[in-house]
Amino acid sequence: MEIRTKDKPGYELVTRGIYYCARMISEQHGTVFTNEHYEKIQKVYSIWICPSVAKCRQNGMFCYQVIEKPILGEPYVKEENNDLMEVVVLNLGEVDGNSEPSASHLLSTLFSTKLPLEEKKQILSENYNIAMVKEMESEVSTMCNLSDAIENRGREEGEAIGREAGRKEGRKEGVIEQAKATAIRMNKKGLSLEDIAEAIDFNIETVKKWLAPVSI
């Protein structure tokens, strides 16, 4: 099980989940089963909880598993022999007082960064009949701290991406300024637009624009 601050980190989470499942099955060789006793393979799960997703994808639960698809002939393999891995992606959403009690609503309540601790405990008590004994209150408090940590981590990741984008933009501008200065020097030496553009690897229209104030 893994909690992600982003449900689309540049790839679909299901692909990573399938990879994890494949690894977990592979690691059973030599522990759960030996030699060619593949019938002893145990089913594995990869569960992804995404507290912060785009509104259009909120409040969704998606399951991916291996299923049999008969193409020709009658099926004869039991489902338990092919249903050996399952990836579950759970997208949480904003807590709505009108929502029906569900696993998604329960987790959305626990991971909410907007609901105060006392309101979370009230929802858990009234909607899910979870008695707020000392131990449970401690667990809910821990989950609140975790949700805050997840939000902070997401903010930090966003800031890091912004800083890196800024650095890349700065480097790009530096390359352009250097190419422009080189183009001006080459122009003063009498080289043609075509030769300048080829030398600095920029198109002729860009070079013309740079050299517009300069006598060509």
97 CB burial (10 A radius; 0-12, 13-18, 19+)? exposed
Mean pLDDT score across all residues of the chain: 80
Does residue 12 or residue 206 have the better pLDDT?
A: 12
Residue 199 and residue 189 in contact, taking contact as beta carbons nearer than 8 Å = no
Q: Can you tell me the mean pLDDT for 87-111?
A: 77
CB 103 within 8 A of CB 59: no
Instruction: Convert the pLDDT of each residue in 21-60 to its tens digit.
Output: 999 999 999 999 999 999 999 999 999 988 878 888 888 8
Please give the share of the chain, as a percent, with pLDDT higher than 70.
76
Range 64-74 average pLDDT: 93
Q: For strand 2-3 and strand 44-50, is the pairing parallel, antiparallel, or unpaired?
A: parallel
Per-residue pLDDT for 112 more than 60?
Answer: yes
